[in-house]
Amino acid sequence: MTKDLTLGFHGAARTVTGSCMEFCHDGKRLLVDCGLFQGSRTLETLNRAPFTFDAGEVDAVILTHAHIDHSGLLPKLVADGFDGPIWCTRPTADLLEFMLADAGRIQETEAARRNRRRDRAGEAEFVPIYTEQDALAAWRQAQTTELETWFEPIPGFRARFWNAGHILGAASVELDIAGTHILCSGDLGPEHKAFYPDPESPAGFDHVICESTYGDRRREHLTIAERRTSLEAEIKAALTLGGNLIIPVFALERTQELLLDIAALIDAKRIASVPVFIDSPLASQATSVFDKYAGSLEDTGGADVFRHTAFHFVDSVQESIRLNTVSGAIIMAASGMCEAGRIRHHLKHNLFRRESTILFVGFQAQGSLGRVILEGAKRVRISGEDIVVRAQVRHIDTYSAHADQDDLLAWMEARRPIAGSLFLSHGEANSIEALRRLAQSRDVSASIVAPELGDVYRLSHNAPAARIKTGDPVLQQAVGRDWQNSYAAFATSLKRELADIKDAANRQQAIEDMRKILESYKQAQRTRSTRRHADHQSG
């Protein structure tokens, strides 16, 4: 048994979801986060793959915050044998009850929906990754502690939380393991974000792991008043068209920030008091947690802003379906990247309408439906149906819960000196590379590492990290836009492109040519397989 301290990256490496880091020392194992991969179908298959470690050998988990890309595989971890504590802040534990239960219901609903699809007839039954009951079992293992207070998640492993300014309860994690001083940023909030003070933590570490979501982007740093002016313009423009304003939202945090600003705009008579439907039971539950901690939140003015008379929280499916007949309303629905939940239903009923507007207010990961729409797709595929995109597609970046490039650089510089290595995780490749170059030019650390999925590093006091295991290339290929994204884009436009060929015989010939191309690829694959088998036999 080695006594080396090691750090393994099981997620959020060259991608922004699936956060999961494993710290091992002297036979003890600590996870920081255990999140769900979100994005392309290929990336999401990693959620179904076995963990690359033994869940039963994990001693404890420290959870930075309640977002599903950081917490969403905890139920699977528990179902696979983990029975230790899940350490987090008290607000995170309160949110986690609802977040995980909702994730379990989504898993069950999505599995049932896929099994009903006609194009899956005869295929093996699709099984949810975990159920609502599995999710609640994981939540019951949560243990809470206060910010800036040392605790021992495992004997010999010391830890404490620092405000990350990202969402309610979000924290950075300071670790002291075997005399090595480490800081995991978790997700960091931007400067002067609503509800919370700016992120904070000590300086002087051996190793720092920093998120890089917006490492290649600089946003205009707006005050809350300026942000409301931007939102006001978008709402007025959308409602002038006469259709609905559809806002894909994250049920946690983004919803509450929007409600704060919409209430202020209505009360100041800067926008009409149109109905605002919050079509997400999870958003309603998360808002109740915000109500619980309202006394400690900034910018609310002491008012019950989340329960404005214009706001209508939609709980039942029947109420959600009735919104199909509504026009001239604001409809906020989860999920924020349009990968699941009721937002897909509203997109199906509004994307084809020229008078409707889709307003994106958050990050859209590569391969997600939201990213495809935002990048200008003319048609998209939703639940097996091809939907034409005629609606206005808009995007404002003033509500991000993530630090931008300037914020990240300032946070990293404030952590100096970093005697060992600076790891840049939780970002797409271009974001990480842009941030790496700037951090290097600012001399943030002599050793800057951009880990990939499956990489393992040895960590030492006052020395750079050393990679001792290279990740699996097959896992790494799941990151980014995948063939299923390209297929969906191709399939949704194929019929129209064939129709543009005027002669019926030429259309038929085009179909035959495509079939021949596909057959040539299959034949080449069979030939390579035969050659490999022959080489193996001769060897």
Distinct helix (H) and strand (E) counts, the chain: 16, 23
Q: What is the predicted pLDDT for the residue at 480?
A: 54
The pLDDT, as a whole number, for residue 294 is 84
User: For 224-395, CATH number?
Assistant: 3.40.50.10890
Residue 489's pLDDT band (cuts 50, 70, 90): low
Q: Residue 411 in contact with residue 435, Cβ under 8 Å?
A: no
Rounded CA separation 374/384 (Å): 20
Q: Sorting pLDDT into bands at 50, 70 and 90, what band is 209?
A: very high
pLDDT of residue 364: 87
pLDDT at 335: 87
Q: In this structure, what token pair is assigned to residue 190?
A: 């931007």
Which position has the token pair 């390209």? 486
Fold of 5-218+402-476: Metallo-beta-lactamase; Chain A (3.60.15)
pLDDT band at 205 (very low <50, low <70, confident <90, very high): very high
φ, ψ of residue 459 in degrees (nearest 5): -105, 135
| Residues contacting 292, CB < 8 A, separation 6+ | 94
- Cβ-Cβ contacts under 8 Å for 428 (sequence gap 6 or more): 14, 15, 16, 365, 366, 480
Query: Which pLDDT score, from 0 to 100, does residue 10 have?
Result: 96
393-449: pLDDT as tens digits: 999 988 888 999 999 999 999 999 999 999 999 999 999 999 999 999 999 999 999
pLDDT one-digit tens code per residue, 244-272: 999 999 899 999 999 999 999 999 999 99
Where do the structural domains in the chain lie, given as residue ranges? 5-218+402-476, 224-395
Asked if residue 488 has pLDDT above 60, the reply is: no
Mean pLDDT of the chain: 91
How many Cβ atoms from other residues are within 10 Å of residue 384's Cβ?
12
Q: What pLDDT score was predicted for residue 485?
A: 52
32: confidence class by pLDDT, cuts 50, 70, 90: very high
pTM, entire model: 0.83
